[in-house]
Amino acid sequence: MTTTKTRDADKAAGNEPITYREAMRAALRDALTRDDRVFLMGEDVGRYGGCFAVSLGLLEEFGPERIRDTPLSESAFVGAGIGAALAGMRPIVEIMTVNFSLLALDQILNNAATLSHMSGGQVGVPLVIRMTTGAGRQLAAQHSHSLEGWYAHIPGLRILAPATLEDARGMLWTALENPDPVLIAEHGSLYGMAGELPPGAGAVDIDRAAVRRTGSDVSLITYGGTLPKTLDAAERLASEGVQAEVIDLRSLRPLDDATIMSSVRRTHRAVIVDEAWRSGSLSAEISARITEQAFYDLDAPVGRVCGAEVPIPYARHLEEAALPQPDDIVAAAHRAVSGDA
């Protein structure tokens, strides 16, 4: 009988395309197989297979001790994950959406992020929290915001944003080896993205940004769910004579300043694409760092393409209008290149 495990193995071997959610599932399976201390907990991760089908079939493979359905209480099960990490386990906690993570903000900010510091390094919290972020799926305001930039403000946390199949497959194990808590922000629009994984795909570096496309005229800096839109915009710009370099941040805390500044010093122009709200955003932090570190290399002001400062609408046409789109990125890049920012 064909099972989820055998189908996933066939795809991971490169015999057919694999989706982002299947790459995440392969990462979970790999971690659970490698280390008996690893377990997954969260709402509907077991019998239902995860709200986004990431953990489908894992309950049957690993049993209820390691794939644990929890009550609908983010504060309680994140707290349980922190306690398990303190006791030597390697918990993976899934929060359905980043909006709901705010119900566990006290646990994440006041406990997970601070215990190593407050204990003088005597205890670590090797906890991984996975959460779905972002809009574009008509799930309305309580399920659609991009709040990972808020968490990138907090010392003691590491924030990751896998935007490719390789990173979806490879970031989890590296995160589990980290002694500090790691939040992985998975953009909901990426789960169905399909492609091929290279043979032997596994753990990846989580410290460095990646240049996804080289260019000489403007640096487009982005992460997560806006990477495909930014790459699309770069293709369109190329057809119009503008060579855009695309930087995928990958890690939102810590930021890889070296890769960002190296790109800006080559292109002399930067546009930051961030689905989150503009005011007090991660894009504002990156813009400030570029101004601090590479001001004299700039030939134009740093541009930003961000989400509209409204609760994400439900209606599709309004949701699309509220989010950065390729047209917006193309226009911002042309303003930077022309000096008309």
Q: How many residues does the chain have?
A: 341
| 143 part of the active site | yes
| 285 part of the active site | no
Compute CA distances 112 → 29, 78, 131, 324, whole Å: 25, 9, 16, 32
CA distance 163 to 224: 4
Compute CA distances 40 → 50, 116, 120, 124, 258, whole Å: 11, 23, 28, 19, 34
Cβ-contact 124, 224 below 8 angstroms: no
Tokens 């690893």, residue located:
38
- 46: closest CA among 64, 25, 24, 29? 64
Chain-centroid distance of CA 17 in Å reads: 21
Catalytically annotated residue among 43, 74, 94, 275: 74
* 144: Cβ contacts below 8 Å, ≥ 6 apart: 97, 99, 134, 135, 136, 137, 312, 319
Is the preceding omega at residue 155 within 30 degrees of 0, hence cis? no
Catalytically annotated residue among 22, 143, 275, 319: 143
Positions marked catalytic? 74, 143
